[in-house]
Structure 1
């Protein structure tokens, strides 16, 4: 963290950029530098070798939740629609519009019961949902 501040980063999350969504996020937010595992600062090349670099990416809470839900869907070969249907069958609650609001970042602070239903749909506890590097350093949240 101290090295990150030395090169100009105030708040960071170490995230490996391996998905198209991660690449798009990095490009959209103007990132141009990355760290190799040896902590050597290099220019970021969007065309080659992205999966081999670990980069500093800023997240706010809404972004971290959005990426976590999308990552879990991808890992479980489930679409957002499929996730909504799974939750609807279990809880008899139509969650599609709520999920869309979260994923389009129109809801900045999703309710905990909504995230509980999402976690349950992936057969995990809520603490497991939040057990991801994206949540380690979120703007305004200090982890010691």
Structure 2
């Protein structure tokens, strides 16, 4: 699976786990709704670590907890 797909899958899984809508996540994390939607619809190819960190704050987890998940076990090599 591509890194971008894994990132979106992780966000969606956390939304389900925390019972949060995208709107609630946007509000809790102070990440603009348009930014979040661009990440989820994959029009943003490489969201910054600061944005991911803010989303983690919205979820109430650390960056380590975000990336230490089974979704990231099946990631393909990065295309450079």
Q: TM-score with structure 2 length normalisation? A: 0.89
Quote the offset at 1:137 in angstroms.
2.8
Hey, what does 2:13 align to over in structure 1? Answer: 71
Considering only CA atoms, is the larger Rg found in Structure 1 or Structure 2? Answer: 1
> 1:21-56: CA deviations, max 9, x gaps?
xxxxxxxxxxxxxxxxxxxxxxxxxxxxxxxxxxxx
Let me know the Cα RMSD of the aligned residues: 1.2
> 1:74-112: CA deviations, max 9, x gaps?
111110011001122xxxxx5211110010011121100
- Per residue, is there more strand in 1 or in 2? 1
- The structure 1 segments of at least 4 consecutive aligned residues displaced by more than 3 Å after TM superposition are none
Aligned ranges for residues 39-54 of structure 1 at < 5 Å? none
Hey, what does 1:25 align to over in structure 2? Answer: none
Aligned ranges for residues 27-106 of structure 1 at < 5 Å? 59-88=1-30, 94-106=31-43
Unaligned runs of 5+ in 1: 1-58, 89-93
* Greater RCO, CA 8 A, separation 6+: 2
- Per residue, is there more helix in 1 or in 2? 2
Q: TM-score with structure 1 length normalisation? A: 0.51
Unaligned runs of 5+ in 2: none
